[in-house]
Chains A and B, each alone.
Chain A
Amino acid sequence: MNGLLPNLIAFVLLLAIAAYSTAGGADFGAGIWDLLAGNSERGREARRLIDHAMAPVWEVNNVWLVLAIVLCWTGFPPLFEATFAGLYPLFALALVGLVLRGAFFAFRHVADDPRAHRAADLVFGLSSVLTPFFFAASLGAIASGRVGNASVLDASFNPMSIAFGLVSVAATAFMGASFLVGDARRYGATELVEYFSRRAAAAALVLIVVGTAALVTIALQAPDLVRSMLLGAGLPFALTTMVLTPVVAFLLWRGIFRWYRVLTVAAVGSLVFAWGFAQSPYVLPGKLTIAQAIAPNGTQVLLLWTAVAVLLLVVPSMGLLYYLDQRSALEPPQA
């Protein structure tokens, strides 16, 4: 068997991570803006929109994460073992954040007491910042080449993992604001369109600054990776992010509401691909390649068929869900 199938499965894994970063990112990003919306009085309008925008799809987004985990342990068992054995503090923190976020999102809908409501907002918002930070930090830790080569603490918390974490928070905020612009437009909330356009443009600028700082960090910590990002397989994706982020900022700043959401997804998704392609064929730099980590052939074939089934079944039904979501928002049955 040649290397096509393992590479294809690695690509599907990267795709699932990218899907979670973008679809999940829009969700977490909304949580970040919820946190930054100010006190109960000032933030009321923004929070109402965020609530409205998030309710229907958040558990569907969660599925991308589960899919990535399952693909990792089934397709690349040694990678899964080494990553979790080496970085368990990061995953535990991300997990706690994820659960708190889900629980308190539901709770703020039922909290009657204003103080409890405010506390729920706070937990929800903070966990929306911390969860993407720790997830992305684990990718940074992998990229640093420390997994399995350094102590757990050193592998988990180092300049690379922190740089990846910060980039992800900026990208998530960018993603969230850009999609909230769309939601505000859909509901015809004019002030909120402007409110989130300004924030999306600002987040794009922050992403450019943080991204540049991260690139310098990677250059110092893992020169091979940066070389591959800027001169190798990662280049097309790195370029896509570098070009599209300011373009989206410009569009929203000028109030041109065309293509901005697609471009935001492309910009944020490309970040993930830039890392993944730059690191390939290694899944753990300098230690483990795709070919070394891949599960036996029978497993690969089943995984590929499952991926095809996801494509054929899930994509159209997801389209239907989003279609109904849009329609229901426009035509409430009670009206």
Chain B
Amino acid sequence: MTSTLWLAGESALLPSRIQMAFTLATHVLLVPMGVALPALTLLMEGIGLARKDAVALRIARRWSVVMAVQFAVGAVTGTILSFEFGILWPRLMGRFGGALGLGFAIEGLAFFLEAIFIGIYLYGWERLRPRTHFLLGLALPPAGVLGTFSVLAANSFMNTPAGVTITNGVVTDVNVWAALFTPAEGYEFWHFFIALYMTAGFVVASVYAVAWLRGRRDHHQRLAFAIPFTVAAALTPVQLLVGDLSARALVQDQPAKFAAIELTWKTRDHNPEVIGGLIDPSGAVNLGISIPSLDSFLVGYSANAVVPGLTSFAANARPSIAEANIAHLAFDVMVGLGTAGALLAVWYFWVLLRRRRLPDSVWFYRLAALAGVGCYVAVEAGWVTTEVGRQPWIVYNLMRVADAVTTAPGSFVWTMLAALVVIYALIAYFFVYLLLRLAARWRRDDALGPSAPEEGAPYGPRPALRRAGP
């Protein structure tokens, strides 16, 4: 058999999974700023208006430029995802589109509103009365809530499908509310929604933490650091609580996923909590730190609580060994970073409340500068946990990933994947280059005097048409 024949006959399953993972992993990085940056920007604008603080207004206006550029990139990667549902997983949508699609239909509406109001917000600076501009901007956070809710409704349906009547493999009836508000939606929504605000807050603050480390200590730096950092730090303990509730709910809703993230092999009581470590095909856990009975205690507040194990599920209905290890390590990374964030938040509030000022320790700002990246990693890790932990199902207990994949040849999907990797690399390069250029110009403005923040950005209000030539 020649290699070309091998490629032509190969299933598209592997490249389709890689492509979906790659494009989703990219898109999820753009989501926090898309959903939560508008709220932070409005908060800053509100402060500026209430205190008549021109610096706060300037910060808000700059953030709105970043918001628009980032939204445009997110719109592109989001459009790609919607096509991939058809190109890679046509059978998923053919069978469950009537239920899974509901969330996306509402998301279409939310996306529309966001696109329009980001435009209005960007154009409105100096063209609308300040109060009107601020009030129109208030449409953005609810649109973000609606979008987050609806996309997670679709994801929750994949995790805990409900509201559908299936006859001979065909969805014959859909109960709209039950399909939108599936059991997982309750915790998935809050967990992810808080994660978005935390991430946006820590990421924005990290930029100004770097500015502090480089020696900038003015009103601009303090304000732009303190507002987003306070929001994110205040949410961190809430997130630990919601995250704990989410993990606990998995015991009932998706026991195989819970077994994978806890690396539990046999269903048992007095189950240890394993931190780190890898499970091998015989069910033994190597390299990890094992805390006796803690998992049982966390699940049922008692060492006697019974925790589900992987072997309680048929081998073809639970995550593979490799998938269980990935889900477990991703879970540990997420929890570890969340805990680190909470400690940083304690430090921050300790100084803020006891000494009534911002911290001035170099180590605090070094850690704050890392908090942004840490949040992105935590978001990716959380997403890996929920998606890999659900394997081999695309819709839990109803449809396998392998039964949803396209019948297109593997070579086609590999080619498309290669093209997308190249295009994404280009987009990432343009995106980062543009942001750095804007940042450099704004720093120059702060030193030399102002120009319009939007100048040089591809989206935003335009100056009058200038004729060619000198």
Contacts and interface: CB of A to CB of B under 8 A. Distances in A.
B170 to A, nearest CB: 9
A298 to B, nearest CB: 4
A66 B82 contact: yes
Contacts of B412: 88-89, 92
A4 interface: no
Interface stretch (A49-57, A202-210, A255-263): A49-57
B433 A306 contact: no
10 contacts: A59-B71, A60-B116, A66-B79, A81-B86, A84-B86, A88-B87, A99-B427, A105-B458, A317-B120, A333-B461
- Which interface residue of A74, A102, A187, A331 has the most chain B CB atoms within 10 A? A74
B112 A314 contact: yes
Interface stretch (B122-130, B207-215, B217-225, B268-276): B122-130
A298 B452 contact: no
Given A110-B437, A302-B102, A296 B171 contact: yes
4 closest Cβ contacts across the A-B interface?
A: A81-B94, A74-B101, A84-B86, A77-B97
Contact of B465 (A63, A83, A189, A306): A189
A65 B108 CA distance: 10
Given A80-B86, A110-B434, A298-B176, 13 more contacts: A55-B458, A65-B79, A66-B79, A66-B111, A73-B86, A74-B97, A80-B90, A85-B94, A96-B416, A106-B459, A109-B458, A296-B171, A324-B124
A297 interface: yes
B458 A295 contact: no
Contacts of B79: 62, 65-66, 95, 98-99
Contact residues of A: prevailing secondary structure: helix
Contact of A296 (B90, B98, B126): B98
Interface residues of B, number: 80
A92 B123 contact: no
A224 interface: no
- Which interface residue of A102, A314, A335 has the most chain B CB atoms within 10 A? A102
Contacts of A329: 462, 464-465
Interface string A82-117: 111100110110011011101101110110000000
Contacts of B408: 85, 88, 152
Contacts of B126: 333
B460 interface: yes
Given A78-B94, A85-B90, A324-B124, A55 B462 contact: yes
B463 interface: yes
Contacts of A63: 75, 108, 111-112, 115
Contacts of A301: 176
Contact of A91 (B87, B94, B423): B87
Given A99-B423, A299-B98, A321 B120 contact: yes
Interface string A37-62: 00000001100110010011101101
Contacts of B87: 84, 88, 91-92, 95
B108 A85 contact: no
Contact residues of B: prevailing secondary structure: helix
Interface of B: 69, 71-72, 75-76, 78-80, 82-83, 85-87, 90-91, 93-99, 101-102, 104-109, 111-113, 115-117, 119-120, 123-128, 139, 171-176, 179, 406-408, 412, 416, 419-420, 423, 426-427, 430, 433-434, 437, 452, 456-468
A298 B120 contact: no
Contacts of A105: 458
Contacts of B139: 317
Contacts of A149: none
A251 B155 CA distance: 52
Interface in A277-333: 295-299, 301-303, 306, 309-310, 313-314, 317-318, 320-321, 324-325, 327-329, 331-333
B266 to A, nearest CB: 40
Nearest to B177: A298
Contacts of B174: 295-299
A332 to B, nearest CB: 5
B173 A297 contact: yes
Nearest to A120: B430
Contact of B406 (A88, A325, A332): A88
Given A91-B86, A102-B72, A106-B458, A321 B173 contact: no
A69 interface: yes
A70 interface: yes
A83 B90 CA distance: 9
Contacts of B112: 60, 63, 67, 310, 314
Contacts of B98: 74-75, 77, 295-296, 299
A51 to B, nearest CB: 9
Interface of A: 44-45, 48-49, 52, 55-57, 59-60, 62-63, 65-67, 69-71, 73-78, 80-85, 88-89, 91-92, 95-96, 98-100, 102-103, 105-107, 109-110, 152, 187, 189, 295-299, 301-303, 306, 309-310, 313-314, 317-318, 320-321, 324-325, 327-329, 331-335
A62 B399 CA distance: 31
Nearest to A84: B86
A78 B106 CA distance: 20
A314 B123 contact: no
A69 B86 contact: yes
Contacts of A299: 98-99, 101-102, 174, 176
Contacts of B171: 77, 295-296
A295 B163 CA distance: 14
Given A44-B468, A95-B80, A98-B79, A74 B105 contact: yes
Contacts of B124: 324
A70 to B, nearest CB: 5
B108 A70 contact: yes
Contacts of B82: 66, 69-70
A295 B123 CA distance: 40
B396 to A, nearest CB: 19
A103 B76 contact: yes
A298 B462 CA distance: 45
Contacts of A49: 465
Contacts of A324: 119-120, 123-124, 127-128
Contact of A85 (B99, B406, B465): B406
Given A74-B102, A88-B406, A306-B105, A55 B459 contact: yes
Contacts of B86: 69, 73, 80-81, 83-84, 88, 91
B101 A73 contact: yes
A328 B462 contact: yes
A317 B136 CA distance: 10
